[in-house]
Amino acid sequence: MTEIDWHRMPALAALRAFEATARCGGFSAAARQLNVTHAAVAQQVRALEDELGVQLVWRDGRALRMTPEGEKLGLALNVGFAALQEGLAALSAEAGQKPLTVTLPPAFAAEWLMPRLARFWKRHPDISLSLLPDHRVLDLQNSGAAMGIRFGDGHWPGVRAEFLTPALQVVVGAPELLGGRRTLTLAEMTALPWVRERDWPEQMDWLKSIGLRPDALRFTEFPNEELALSAVREGLGLHLESAALVEEDIASGRLVQICELSHESLGYYAVFPPGPVSAAAQAFVAWLKAEL
């Protein structure tokens, strides 16, 4: 790759004005193409001539012709700008074909997103998605993800967070576990077994907020949210879960909602690395907000 000495390079605006003048055959035609005034183009060309110390155009009244030096420079600039334009067009085309890569919690992907994904593609058939389900909070730039969906308070270093929906939590259980009951007292909830997922200490604070004593509860622990949800559906215990992930279970009667809890500082967020957000990511976030 050729090294460019930018200290000796004339201003880009002057080069652009001269290229348009040489290609269009005059200041007025160049001004119309660049959407500037005739005087602005003429001034840029005169400044370029002064900087280079070379006459680029012959002025004869209202007529204008290129000098031999001007013809050479005009051709070189046209070739250079055309190559730049082709490179930018190729980059835009490649970006348009590249899937929108999204990192998100596996349970959110499986329980909430996948049942609705056909609706997104029906509305945006030109946008392809590549999902990266992961329990960890991934570094977006190192993982190659264009954006992520995260649960928390919206404060993560190195990303911009955009609020999607509040974190409404619900206590649920299978109908066979509840024996036909749809409400439970604190004593009844304490007497029943519970299912919890590992590495979520905050769930104990949620349970305390409704008057339960976590140390008095009998928990079966599972390594992740997906297994915990499967166990709850099989009637192995009560479970505290994000309402967004079990709304279909509740609507179908597969699970019964016992109570709900909310916390104003927690929710689901779309997160983006520093820099511009692609049109595909903006469309995906708009669809998420409409669905949530």
What is the CATH number for 114? 3.40.190.10
Sequence-distant (6+) residues with CB within 8 A of 42 are 27
The answer as to whether 118 is a domain residue is yes
Q: What is the rounded distance in angstroms from the CA atom of residue 82 to the CA atom of residue 78?
A: 6
Number of domains the chain contains: 3
The reply to whether 31 falls in a domain is yes
Is the residue at 65 inside a domain? yes
Query: What pLDDT is attached to residue 18?
Result: 92
Angle 27-34/38-52 helices, nearest 10 degrees?
110
For residues 49 and 45, give the distance between their C-alpha atoms in angstroms, rounded to a whole number.
Answer: 6
Same domain, 211 and 92: no
Residue 286 covered by a domain: yes
Per-residue pLDDT, 241: 93
- Regarding whether 209 and 196 lie in a shared domain, the answer is yes
- What DSSP line would sit under 253-292, residue for residue? TSSEEEEEE--TT-EEEEEE-SSPPPHHHHHHHHHHHHH-
Examine the domain organization and report whether 120 and 229 are in the same domain. no
Domain for residue 1, yes or no?
A: no
User: Do 19 and 35 share a structural domain?
Assistant: yes
Helices (H) then strands (E): counts for the chain? 13, 12
pLDDT score for 82:
85
pTM > 0.75: yes or no: no
Task: Select from 268, 270, 265 the least CA-distant residue to 284.
Answer: 270
- Co-location of 162 and 205 in the same domain: no
Which of 69, 97, 125 is the C-terminal boundary of a domain? 97
pLDDT digits (tens, 9 = 90+) for 179-227: 999 999 999 999 999 999 887 777 888 899 889 999 999 999 999 889 9
Answer yes or no: do 145 and 180 share one domain. Answer: no
Same domain assignment for residues 210 and 234? yes
| Calpha distance 99→103 (Å, rounded) | 13
Q: Are residues 175 and 32 in the same domain?
A: no
- Whether 145 and 104 map to the same domain: the answer is yes
Where is the domain boundary, 97, 124, 153?
A: 97
Torsion-angle region of 275 (φ positive above 0: left; ψ -120 to 50: alpha; else: beta): left
286 shares a domain with 152: yes
Domain of residue 56 covers: 6-97
Q: What does R_g of the chain's alpha carbons equal in angstroms?
A: 31
What is the reported pLDDT for 60? 76
Q: What is the pLDDT of residue 56?
A: 93
Last residue within a domain, chosen from 97, 126, 156: 97
Say whether both 82 and 126 belong to one domain: no
Distance CA 290, CA 292 (A): 6
pLDDT at site 280: 93
Round to whole Å and give the CA distance between 203 and 169.
10
- Given a cut of 70, the residues of the chain with pLDDT beneath it are 90-97, 264-265
Q: 140 with 277, same domain?
A: yes
Nearest to 31 by CA among 48, 50, 45: 45
| Residue 254 pLDDT | 96
Q: Which helix (H) or strand (E) segment is 130 a member of?
A: strand 129-133
CA distance 45 to 57: 9
Q: In whole angstroms, give the CA distance from residue 63 to residue 25.
A: 9
